[in-house]
C-alpha cells in the first residue's frame, strides 16, 4: 500500500484534467482499506473507480481512494444460470470479455464501457437495450465511517435510469468491494437496438453469436465515441431526458423529426444528443473544449482545459436546449 502526497490526477480521470489531490492511495484488500480509513478519518474521502465518469473542477482537499482488488469467482450454478462474484477493481470490459469467452449471457451489450466493476452499479450503467441492473444480484462493501460490512441486494439499491442508492444516499459513504451477477447460460440476445440491427443486416447474420453482438457493440462505440487516451472525454455527459407523452406530442408537432422511445406507460425518453444537435452544438469548439463531431452527447477536452471550462460549456448547452425545447438536461457525470 502506497500513500502519495500532492498527487496529480491527470492520468486518473478520462478528461485528462490537470488537478491534484492532497493524498492518493490505492488499496487491494479490505485490510489495507481499513488501515487507510483509520489513518485518514479526519480527511475528506473521495472514492474513485476508473475515473471515466468524473469531472474535477478543482484540486481535491483530502484523500482520493481507489479500491483495486481483482478476481472473479463462481458462487453458485445451475443448468440455466451462474452466479459470479467480481471484485471491484476488475475492469468492466475485461469482465465482459471473460463472460463472452465462457458463454455467459446478459451483459454483452455493455461492451467497451470504460471503468471498473465496482463503479458500475453506482451509475447503473447501460447501453444498447441493456442495463447493469438486469443481471445484478448483489453488491458487497463497507461503510467508510465505521467499516461495517453490508450486502445490498437488488431490491435495496434503488436502481433507476443511470442512478442508484450508491450515487445519492450513499455517495462517498459506502465503498463497493465486490459485485455479484447472475448470468444466463443460454439467452435471447438483445439485438433489436437500431444500430445493432443495422450492423447485423450489413453482415448478413440472422443468427448471431454472443461474440458477434460484443464485436458489433465494440465497433459501434469505436466509430462514434472518441478514445479518451487520444481526446479527453467521459463518454455521455448528459442523461437522456424523460417527458410525459402529452409533452412529447406537443414537441413533435413543432419538431416532426424528434426521436422518442417509451420509458414507461406515461413517459417518453428523448435522446439528449438529438436535442443538443438541434441547437447547433454538434462539432462546435470553444477554446480548449467542445462537443464531439460524431456524438453530440460527448464533451471533449482538446488539451489544456480545466474542469470549469467544461462545466461552463455544459451550462451553455443546457441553456440552449431549455430555451428551444423547454427541457432541462441533467448531467450524467459526477462533478467534484
Task: Kindly write down the DSSP assignment for every residue of 311-334, as one continuous string.
Answer: HHHHHHHHHHHHHHH-----B-SE
Across all residues in the chain, what is the average pLDDT?
A: 93
pLDDT of 265 strictly over 90: no
Burial (CB count within 10 angstroms: exposed 0-12, middle 13-18, buried 19+), residue 190: middle
Q: Alpha carbon of 297 to those of 43, 126, 219, 231: distances in Å?
A: 35, 15, 18, 15
In this predicted structure, what is the pLDDT of residue 199?
80
- The percentage of the chain sitting over the pLDDT mark of 70, rounded to a whole number, equals 100
Task: Kindly write down the DSSP assignment for every residue of 166-234, as one continuous string.
Answer: TTTTTTTTEEEEEEEEEEESS------SHHHHHHHHHHT-SS--HHHHHHHHHHHHHHHS--TTTSEEE
Domain boundaries, the chain: 2-67, 72-184, 232-335
Please tell me which residue, 210 or 83, carries the higher pLDDT value: 83
Return the CATH number of the domain spanning residue range 2-67: 3.30.43.10
pLDDT in tens, 83-115: 999 999 999 999 999 999 999 999 999 999 999
Q: E strands within the chain?
A: 2-8, 20-27, 45-47, 54-55, 60-67, 72-77, 81-87, 126-127, 130-131, 136-143, 149-153, 174-184, 232-236, 242-244, 261-262, 267-269, 285-286, 289-291, 298-301, 334-335
Q: Where are the alpha helices (DSSP H) in 114-161?
A: 120-123
Return the CATH number of the domain spanning residue range 72-184: 3.30.465.10
| Confidence label for 196 from pLDDT (cuts 50, 70 and 90) | confident
Q: Which residue has the cell 413533435?
A: 252
In this predicted structure, what is the pLDDT of residue 313?
98
| Confidence label for 187 from pLDDT (cuts 50, 70 and 90) | confident
> pTM of the entire structure?
0.88
108: helix, coil or strand? helix
Residues labelled as active-site residues: 162, 236, 332
Return the CATH number of the domain spanning residue range 232-335: 3.90.78.10
In this predicted structure, what is the pLDDT of residue 200?
80
Give buried/exposed letters for 120-154 (b at 16+ CB in 10 A, else e): bbbbbbbbbebbbbbbbbbbbbbebeeeeeeebeb
pLDDT of 191 strictly over 80: no
Cα 296 vs. chain centroid, distance in angstroms? 17
Burial (CB count within 10 angstroms: exposed 0-12, middle 13-18, buried 19+), residue 202: exposed
Range with the lowest mean pLDDT among 23-32, 133-142, 221-230, 282-291?
221-230
In this predicted structure, what is the pLDDT of residue 2?
87
Q: Which residues, including other chains, have CB under 8 Å from residue 1's CB and lie 6 or more apart?
A: 25, 26, 27, 28, 32, 35, 36
Record the cell numbers describing residue 286, joined without a space: 470553444
In this predicted structure, what is the pLDDT of residue 197?
76
Amino acid at each position: 500500500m502506497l500513500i502519495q502526497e500532492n498527487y496529480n490526477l491527470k492520468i486518473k480521470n478520462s478528461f485528462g484534467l490537470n488537478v491534484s489531490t492532497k493524498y492518493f492511495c490505492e488499496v487491494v484488500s479490505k485490510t489495507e482499506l481499513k488501515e487507510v480509513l483509520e489513518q485518514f478519518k479526519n480527511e475528506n474521502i473521495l472514492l474513485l473507480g476508473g475515473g471515466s465518469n468524473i469531472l474535477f473542477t478543482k484540486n481535491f482537499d483530502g484523500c482520493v481512494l481507489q479500491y483495486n482488488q481483482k478476481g472473479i469467482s463462481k458462487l453458485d450454478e445451475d443448468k440455466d444460470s451462474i452466479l459470479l462474484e467480481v471484485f471491484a477493481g476488475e475492469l468492466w470490459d475485461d469482465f465482459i470479455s471473460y463472460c463472452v469467452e465462457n458463454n455467459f449471457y446478459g451483459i454483452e451489450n455493455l461492451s467497451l464501457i470504460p471503468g471498473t466493476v465496482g463503479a458500475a452499479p453506482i451509475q447503473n450503467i447501460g447501453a444498447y437495450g441493456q442495463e447493469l441492473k438486469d443481471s445484478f444480484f448483489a453488491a458487497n462493501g463497507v461503510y467508510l465511517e465505521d467499516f461495517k460490512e453490508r450486502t445490498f441486494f437488488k431490491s435495496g439499491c434503488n436502481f433507476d435510469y443511470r442512478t442508484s442508492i450508491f450515487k445519492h444516499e450513499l455517495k462517498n459513504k459506502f465503498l463497493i468491494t465486490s459485485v455479484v451477477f447472475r448470468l444466463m447460460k443460454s439467452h435471447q440476445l438483445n439485438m433489436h437496438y437500431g444500430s445493432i440491427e443495422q450492423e447485423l443486416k450489413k453482415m448478413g447474420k440472422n443468427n448471431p453469436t454472443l461474440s458477434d453482438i460484443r464485436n458489433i457493440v465494440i465497433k459501434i462505440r469505436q466509430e462514434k465515441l472518441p478514445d479518451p487516451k487520444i481526446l479527453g472525454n467521459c463518454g455521455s455527459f448528459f442523461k437522456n431526458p424523460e417527458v410525459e407523452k402529452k409533452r412529447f406530442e406537443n414537441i413533435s408537432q413543432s419538431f416532426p423529426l424528434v426521436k422518442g422511445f417509451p420509458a414507461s406507460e406515461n413517459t417518453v425518453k428523448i435522446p439528449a444528443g438529438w436535442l443538443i444537435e438541434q441547437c447547433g452544438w454538434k462539432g462546435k469548439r470553444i477554446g480548449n473544449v467542445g462537443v464531439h463531431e460524431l456524438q453530440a452527447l460527448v464533451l471533449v477536452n482538446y488539451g489544456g482545459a480545466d474542469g470549469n471550462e467544461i462545466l461552463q460549456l455544459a451550462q451553455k448547452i443546457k441553456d440552449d436546449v431549455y430555451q428551444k425545447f423547454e427541457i432541462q438536461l441533467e448531467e450524467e457525470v459526477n462533478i467534484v
